[in-house]
Amino acid sequence: MTDSIMIPAIAGDGSLYPIEKMQAHLDGQLHLAVSVFVFDGDLLLIQKRASTKYHCAGLWANTCCTHPHWDETVEDCAERRLSEELGFTVPLTRHQTVEYAADVGEGLKEHERVTLFSARVDRRTLHVEPVAGEVEEVCWIAPGQLARQVRERPEDFTPWFRIYLQRFPGLSFADAA
């Protein structure tokens, strides 16, 4: 299903403690995460998750997202995951931290405190190499087209991506990048 990776969970008093990633998802335990949004103008780079992912397989999501490893900073985590999923790194701007909970199917739950990151790039010079087993395909999409697709076929998009789009119409948090 997934390898045994320890990630930072958040206790009731706000302290962090290590928890196995799958256990966090089975229990719906609050844990740290990152989400990255890469833009070229108003176009957003989105990815279709690999069909072999343990949850939300084959669904469209933001540029990339993941959980920091235990004792990894959110900044290092965001940079690492861009490379691991899409084969590139770019300077990232850190934005606010948000929290959400969602059922992601197969008896798994996400309950995340997510630090959002963005980047501005020129897609003509950005070399995107989706990594097999992580990403099936990528697409640059305009806000209106994305909103229409999510409205018409919400089941094609991950729960967290739909939550971000609902909470941040136009993904305005990225304007500061």
- Residues serving a catalytic function are 65, 112
To which residue do tokens 């609050």 refer? 30
Question: Residues comprising the binding site for Mg(2+)?
Answer: 85
Closest CA to 22 of 10, 42, 5, 43: 5
Amino acid identity of 74? Answer: V
User: How many residues are present in the chain?
Assistant: 177
Alpha helices in 94-158 (DSSP H): 143-152
- By DSSP bridging, strand 60-61 and strand 43-49 are antiparallel
Question: Residues comprising the binding site?
Answer: 25, 31, 67, 85, 110, 112
Question: Residues comprising the binding site for Mn(2+)?
Answer: 25, 31, 67, 110, 112
- Phi then psi dihedrals of residue 24, to 5 deg: -60, -40
Amino acid identity of 145? Answer: Q
